[in-house]
């Protein structure tokens, strides 16, 4: 890929808009119980905000916000949060992924609510990191010809 | 050969239209999937979720409750699929760059 | 008759979309266009599930206030929405894998046309 010079207008607008998209993605994840939303949608929005910065700033500048070396560890961490929630329920005496056994609250329905929130955080993290990872890999080294 | 492909597509479309005539009316409340009970008199899955999602999980959004709680195994599998796809992209495309650093750009695989 | 048409016309549009995707997969010779056809096919399947979850007079599956008795006829079927939600994200990931494979094919053979690719493969055979 040719090293295009940065357009100042595009990079400024991307820098202004990107944090708000990230914030909206976090809102969609954490408000997923009460409004349409959840881990998949919020993770996609956060990935969109990071990819916007990558598109506007070419080269190493785009990596400053979210370096490419973080992609695979964060994705694996998200999947591990999901598995860990299931295994924690197993540890405290229930079945795998049965949130009613997590010692987070008194009432069983609130325990399941907190379990859903933990799982959604894991899903959002994994989806965000892996979509950015696929984007980085596809643009990795197109300097043939 | 191209003509055969087009004919095949047309026949397939007509076959699908014929099959769709026996589907239930869209949005019909009396259709089998929208009833409270299945023909075997067991509770229907969708009606059960709508009735019990808030009492079970305190989350008014039923889609989230089903996604993460009732069908947690399904979502676990899907997330593993996403991770695997990301890792496959990583493994397919990153190997090329390391070979290029050894100054042999035309050697492939 | 008019009731039958009103109950089924959405299915027919979705099936037309599905056949368009299949057309891209079968007739087109460029691999990128084949992947686009695959995506259209997948969108048709997703739309089919979403369309079949409709109930007339019902609303989205998010409770507005805390009712004591919840009528299941008042909310549309949440199960197809859940299944398709995961299918969309997995579709994005799998199309990423498809594009990675296409990039590798282009690096090796310098073409994406299927006929030319088959010729190149025949040339490579005897070696």
Q: How confident is the model at residue A74 (pLDDT cuts 50, 70, 90)?
A: very high
Q: How many H-runs (helices) and E-runs (strands) does chain B carry?
A: 4, 0
Nearest to A116 among B68, B80, B85 (CB): B68
Q: Is 80 exceeded by the pLDDT of residue A135?
A: yes
Nearest-angstrom CA–CA distance, A51 and A17: 12
B2-35 residue pLDDT tens: 899 999 999 999 999 999 999 999 888 888 888 8
pLDDT of B107 above 70:
no
Burial of B43 (0-12, 13-18, 19+ CB in 10 A): middle
What is d(CA C7, CA B28) in angstroms, rounded to the nearest whole number? Answer: 8
Q: Which CATH class is domain C2-57+72-124?
A: mainly alpha
d(CA B44, CA C75): 14
Q: What is the pLDDT of residues A49-61, one digit of tens each?
A: 999 999 888 777 7
pLDDT digits 0-9 by tens, B31-53:
888 888 888 888 888 889 988 88
Range with the lowest mean pLDDT among A31-35, C15-19, C44-48? A31-35
Q: Measured between alpha carbons, how far is B37 from A70 in angstroms, rounded to an integer? A: 49
Residue A1 in this model has a pLDDT that exceeds 90: no
Task: Give me chain C's average pLDDT, please.
Answer: 90
Other beta carbons within 10 Å of A130: 32
What CA–CA distance (Å, rounded) separates C62 from C70?
12
ipTM over 0.90: no
**Residue spans of alpha helices (H) in A6-38:** 8-30
Retrieve residue C25's tokens: 């997969």
Of C29 and C124, the structure prediction assigns the larger pLDDT to C29
Cα distance from B102 to chain C (closest Cα, Å)? 18
The minimal CB distance from A97 to the residues B65, B72, B89 is found for: B72
Determine the Cα–Cα distance for residues A134 and A142; give it in Å rounded to an integer: 14
In the DSSP assignment, the letter for residue C28 is: -
CB A82 within 8 A of CB B78: no
Under 8 Å between Cβ of A65 and A136: no
Task: Answer whether residue C19 shows pLDDT above 90.
Answer: yes
The tens digit of pLDDT for each residue in A11-36 reads 899 999 999 999 999 999 999 888 88
Q: Is the pLDDT of residue B101 over 80?
A: no
pLDDT of residue B96 exceeding 60, the answer is no
pLDDT exceeds cutoff 80 at B105: no
What's the pLDDT at B104?
Answer: 45
First to last CA, chain B: 35
Quickly state the pLDDT bin for A40 (edges 50, 70, 90): very high
* pLDDT greater than 80 at residue A145: no
CB A75 within 8 A of CB A66: no
**A103 token code pair:** 């010692």
Element (H, E) at B33: none
Chain B residue numbers touching A82 (CB-CB < 8 A) = 75-76, 79
Give residue A25's pLDDT.
95
**Contact in structure between C96 and A134 (CB atoms under 8 Å):** yes
Query: Are C86 and A36 in contact (CB < 8 Å)?
Result: no
The 10 Å Cβ neighbour count of residue B87 is 16
A-chain CB neighbours of C104 within 8 Å are none
Residue B109 pLDDT level (bands cut at 50, 70, 90): very low
Domain layout of chain C by residue ranges:
2-57+72-124
Closest residue by Cα to residue A40 from A118, A104, A120:
A120
């Amino acid at each position: 890929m040719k090293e295009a010079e940065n357009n100042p207008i595009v990079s400024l607008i991307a820098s202004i808009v990107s944090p708000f998209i990230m914030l909206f993605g976090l809102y969609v994840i954490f408000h997923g119980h009460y409004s349409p939303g959840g881990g998949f949608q919020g993770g996609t929005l956060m990935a969109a905000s990071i990819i916007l910065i990558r598109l506007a700033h070419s080269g190493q500048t785009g990596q400053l916000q979210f370096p490419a070396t973080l992609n695979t560890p964060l994705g694996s961490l998200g999947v591990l949060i999901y598995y860990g929630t299931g295994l924690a329920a197993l540890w405290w005496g229930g079945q795998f992924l049965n949130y009613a056994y997590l010692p987070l609250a008194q009432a069983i329905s609130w325990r399941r609510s907190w379990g859903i929130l933990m799982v959604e955080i894991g899903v959002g993290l994994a989806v965000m990191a892996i979509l950015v990872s696929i984007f980085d890999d596809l643009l990795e080294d197109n300097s043939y010809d | 050969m191209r003509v055969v492909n087009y004919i095949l597509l047309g026949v397939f479309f007509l076959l699908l239209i014929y099959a769709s005539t026996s589907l239930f009316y869209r949005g019909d409340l009396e259709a089998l999937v929208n009833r409270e009970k299945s023909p075997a008199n067991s509770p229907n899955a969708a009606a059960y979720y709508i009735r019990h999602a808030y009492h079970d999980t305190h989350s008014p959004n039923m889609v989230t409750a089903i996604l993460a709680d009732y069908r947690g195994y399904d979502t676990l599998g899907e997330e593993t699929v996403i991770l695997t796809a990301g890792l496959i992209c990583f493994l397919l495309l990153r190997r090329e760059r390391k070979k290029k650093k050894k100054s042999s750009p035309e050697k492939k695989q | 008759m008019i009731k039958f048409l009103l109950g089924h016309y959405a299915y027919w549009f979705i099936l037309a979309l599905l056949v368009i995707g299949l057309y891209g997969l079968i007739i087109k010779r460029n691999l990128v266009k084949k992947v686009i056809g695959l995506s259209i096919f997948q969108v048709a399947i997703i739309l089919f599930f979403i369309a079949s979850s409709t109930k007339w007079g019902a609303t989205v599956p998010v409770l507005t206030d805390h009712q004591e008795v919840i009528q299941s006829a008042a909310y549309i079927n949440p199960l197809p929405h859940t299944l398709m939600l995961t299918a969309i994200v997995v579709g994005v990931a799998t199309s990423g894998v498809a594009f990675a494979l296409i990039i590798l094919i282009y690096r090796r053979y310098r073409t994406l046309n299927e006929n030319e690719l088959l010729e190149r493969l025949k040339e490579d055979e005897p070696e």
